[in-house]
């Protein structure tokens, strides 16, 4: 028995050492050479896909890491894949090396011990991240604890064509009144699409007298009472939506063409720069502008995480670190490319790097940081899950 215990003691450190140590960056770079990283990420946007392809060209050039974008329609599919592999005992060289993730999907993977880490705060470019000013250490109220690294900031904006809707509205109550006065001219994506579910959360955050209740998990005891005002609001709103609420856009991406085709005048986006990007790409008319609500709108960070059974953890960390580089962050913030908000602290980067950001033309439809106002916190992920399910039972339609 002592001999078996001795063997077990020998095996345990070997297994632990099989994963790269993010604190030893030189070793990570050496291990990453020649690795292929399968990044499972949303594939519903041509501009985003092009940006990810550019990231791939840069990491193979500088670090010898091949990046393959596995296009997802639902991040939950990647979570299910990793969970299935764990249940099957496939604890090494899994199919997924990196996931674009946040919210309920991150919470599910973290709770099920499906993630490699902690690694994020040991990446070299973490020193450049605006930890104090950005929500990068919690994800929908769930502590990140170094198990995912940020690469973009997002905030809800409303997108309107000023040719048909000249003035903004300052609250969800005012939006309801505008929609009733202009039937058929507004819609939102069908939940569980993340933007559609975000619209539900945004309504709730804006109409509740005290939205702090949403920071704690939804429970059987509080859910019905807290969400009752939302369902009353949607009951009143739905008959005045595009197609009388009998059909919904499948995704947020589908809504910009609806503005261009003059089917609707108002939509929602989770990217403050998306409208300017679409205008620059001739996908929206140049009369389009954006606004936020008087109380502010929901904001969050986009993260990447590494599954526990990735066979290319070093390569995945190299990609995650590159995404936080000033080069990648400036390119992502350029509205001609993506128009995403940066996770970086401008005081932490060099004057030359800062000049690149300052030289960006954010576009005619992009609000300044001051105009974006207060960022409302994301509710706990348990609210999103229940809201999407409840919405489907009340208003869902076949796609």
The tens digit of pLDDT for each residue in 303-336 reads 999 999 999 999 999 999 999 999 999 999 998 8
Instruction: Give the number of other Cβ atoms within 10 Å of residue 26's Cβ.
Output: 7
Give the pLDDT of residue 339.
83
- What pLDDT shows up at residue 375? 84
**φ, ψ for residue 90 (rounded to 5)?**
-90, 80
**Alpha carbons 43 and 72: distance in angstroms, whole number:** 5
Cα→Cα distances 187→49, 229, 259, 282, Å: 25, 19, 11, 22
Beta carbons of 32 and 314 less than 8 angstroms apart: yes
Residue given tokens 């990453």 in the structure block: 32
pLDDT recorded at residue 240: 98
At which residue do the structure tokens 């639902």 appear?
Answer: 74
Q: What is the pLDDT of residue 189?
A: 97
Do you know the residue count of the chain? 399
Work out whether strand 157-161 and strand 288-291 pair parallel, antiparallel, or are unpaired. antiparallel
Give the span between the Cα atoms of 135 and 377, in whole angstroms. Answer: 9
Q: Provide the pLDDT for residue 17.
A: 45
* Alpha carbon of residue 260 to chain centroid: 25
State the Cα–Cα distance between residues 101 and 107, nearest whole angstrom. Answer: 10
Segments of the chain scoring below 50 in pLDDT: 1-17
Three-state secondary-structure class, residue 288: strand
Taken in order of first residue, the domains within the chain and their CATH numbers are 14-150+302-362 (3.40.190.10), 155-299+374-395 (3.40.190.10)
Do the beta carbons of residue 186 and residue 267 sit within 8 Å? yes
């Amino acid at each position: 028995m002592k001999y078996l215990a001795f063997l077990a003691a020998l095996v345990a450190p070997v297994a632990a050492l099989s994963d790269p140590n993010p604190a030893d960056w030189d070793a990570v770079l050496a291990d990453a050479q020649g690795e292929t990283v399968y990044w499972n990420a949303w594939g519903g946007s041509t501009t985003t896909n092009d940006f990810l392809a550019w990231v791939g060209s840069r990491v193979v050039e500088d670090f010898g890491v091949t990046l393959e974008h596995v296009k997802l329609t639902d991040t939950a599919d990647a979570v299910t894949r990793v969970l299935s592999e764990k249940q099957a005992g496939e604890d090494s060289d899994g199919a997924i090396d990196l996931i674009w993730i946040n919210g309920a999907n991150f919470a599910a993977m973290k709770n099920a011990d499906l993630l490699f880490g902690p690694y994020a705060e040991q990446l070299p470019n973490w020193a450049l991240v605006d930890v104090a000013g950005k929500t990068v250490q919690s994800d929908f109220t769930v502590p990140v604890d170094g198990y995912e690294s940020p690469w973009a900031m997002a905030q809800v904006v409303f997108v309107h064509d000023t040719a048909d809707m000249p003035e903004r509205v300052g609250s969800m109550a005012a939006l309801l009144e505008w929609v009733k006065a202009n039937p058929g001219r507004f819609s939102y994506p069908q939940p569980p699409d993340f933007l559609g579910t975000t619209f539900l959360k945004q309504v709730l955050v804006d109409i509740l007298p005290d939205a702090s209740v949403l920071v704690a998990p939804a429970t059987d005891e509080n859910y019905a009472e807290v969400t009752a005002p939302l369902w009353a609001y949607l009951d009143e709103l739905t008959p005045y939506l595009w197609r009388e609420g009998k059909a919904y856009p499948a995704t947020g991406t589908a809504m910009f063409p609806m503005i261009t085709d003059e089917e609707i005048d108002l939509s929602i986006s989770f990217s403050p720069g998306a409208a300017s990007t679409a205008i620059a790409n001739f996908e929206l008319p140049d009369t389009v502008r954006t606004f936020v609500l008087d109380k502010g709108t929901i904001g969050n960070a986009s993260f990447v995480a590494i599954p526990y059974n990735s066979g290319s953890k070093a390569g995945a960390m190299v990609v995650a670190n590159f995404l936080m580089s000033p080069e990648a962050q400036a390119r992502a913030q350029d509205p001609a490319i993506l128009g995403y908000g940066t996770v970086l602290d401008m005081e932490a980067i060099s004057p030359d790097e800062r000049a690149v950001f300052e030289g960006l033309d954010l576009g005619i439809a992009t609000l300044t940081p001051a105009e974006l106002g207060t960022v409302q916190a994301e509710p706990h992920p348990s609210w999103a899950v229940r809201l999407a399910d409840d919405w489907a039972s009340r208003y869902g339609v076949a796609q």
